[in-house]
Copies of this chain bind each other. A is one copy, B any other.
Amino acid sequence: MFILLRPGCALKDRARILRAIEEAGLAVQVSEGHHRIVIGVVGEEDLLRGVALETFPGVESVIRLRPPYRLAARETHPDESVVAVGPTRIGGGNLAILAGPCAVEEEEQFLAAAQAVKAAGANLLRGGAYKPRTSPYDFRGLGAPGLAILRSVSREVGLPVVTEAMDTRHLDQVAQHADMIQIGTRNMQNYPLLEAAGRARMPVLLKRGRACTVSEWLCAAEYVLDAGNPSVVLCERGLVSFDPAVRNHLDLSCVPLVKRLSHLPIVVDPSHGTGRRDLVPAMARAAVAAGADGVMLEVHPRPEQALSDAQQAILPEELEALVPELRAIQEILRRHPVRIA
């Protein structure tokens, strides 16, 4: 950590800063330049957490050297993590295809959709029982009965299933019926929910907030990891956009960035990430080419009958055409592996 002093910082202010650092058990090294004085802190800068050095009189800025997350950082865990969801592996060169309708609406129809996505190559089923909706008057999911359908259909088709938990009170119930808990974009910084997911013995799919930096996202993952759950998969799903032509701006550059900063697997959701089904296949291909460990896709046999997010669902036959392309792209990357510098 380095502390840059303002020009003309008073001696008593400087002394006070040095004292605070020393009280934290750390050593200092003072460099005096022509214009400025900088104080280098020797030792573990975490010992100064909770000391608001930025606000001490005479301080211009504080430069921290370590990221605010630990367990999520690649430097503390150089090997890439692989997360198992039932028989499906995410990370480590496997290609995860998470697919299914946005919401569970009715058993027979969900079963048909699940069979279709399995036949098309999906290895993880998705479907919402609790649906976060911008307006309270939109369809908000079946709730508990939806979870029962999820579990039953998941068993029948033989695919593990991921579904969203929106509330700490529902988390146990969700965990009983699903194989992976999704934390949605609106809840990326819902810390009590993250901690509860961290205590569940089940993998967590952590979607990125629409206006969150990669560092904030890895901090959110840190809440889950720090609560004892090592099985976190990140999911990019689009950032807030100023262009009305798309619902969100899908950020694929986060894929190689996450690979550099963290050991956690990352998948991409181009359905929410664009909001337009005509852009989904191209963005799924691009996600895999960027190095993603998988894609999450809304697939619906009859989108016009879906009660939510129908505009972004592709058809099962589109998924079927897409999967071999994704595998072929991943094969190219495997031959030319990404090297973490």
The complex is assembled from copies of this chain, and their number is: 4
- Residues of B within 8 Å of A138, CB to CB, are 49-50, 68
> When chains A and B are docked, how far (Å) is the Cα of A44 from the Cα of B291?
43
> When chains A and B are docked, how far (Å) is the Cα of A101 from the Cα of B242?
28
B250 touches A252 (CB 8 A): yes
> How far, in Å, is A197 (CB) from chain B's closest CB?
13
> When chains A and B are docked, how far (Å) is the Cα of A273 from the Cα of B251?
11
- Residues of B within 8 Å of A134, CB to CB, are 68, 189, 216, 219
Q: Does A239 contact B (CB under 8 A)?
A: yes
User: Which residue on B lies nearest to A44, using beta carbons?
Assistant: B34
B249 touches A253 (CB 8 A): yes
A residues 179-208 with Cβ under 8 Å of B? 186-187, 189-193
Q: Among B132, B169, B240, B325, point to the contact of A211 (Cβ < 8 A).
A: B240
User: With A134-B189, A186-B189, A303-B55 in contact, do A253 and B246 touch (Cβ < 8 Å)?
Assistant: yes
A29 touches B33 (CB 8 A): yes
Q: Among B31, B42, B54, B63, point to the contact of A311 (Cβ < 8 A).
A: B54
Q: Does A11 contact B (CB under 8 A)?
A: no
A306 touches B55 (CB 8 A): yes
What are 13 A-B contacts with C-beta separation under 8 Å?
A4-B63, A34-B44, A49-B137, A50-B138, A68-B137, A136-B219, A166-B191, A245-B257, A256-B283, A282-B290, A285-B332, A286-B286, A289-B329
Q: Beyond the given A33-B41, A70-B137, A252-B283, could you list 18 further A-B residue pairs with CB under 8 A, ordered by the A residue number?
A: A2-B38, A29-B31, A34-B42, A34-B43, A52-B305, A52-B307, A55-B313, A134-B219, A136-B219, A168-B169, A170-B192, A240-B242, A244-B244, A249-B251, A250-B252, A253-B273, A282-B338, A329-B332
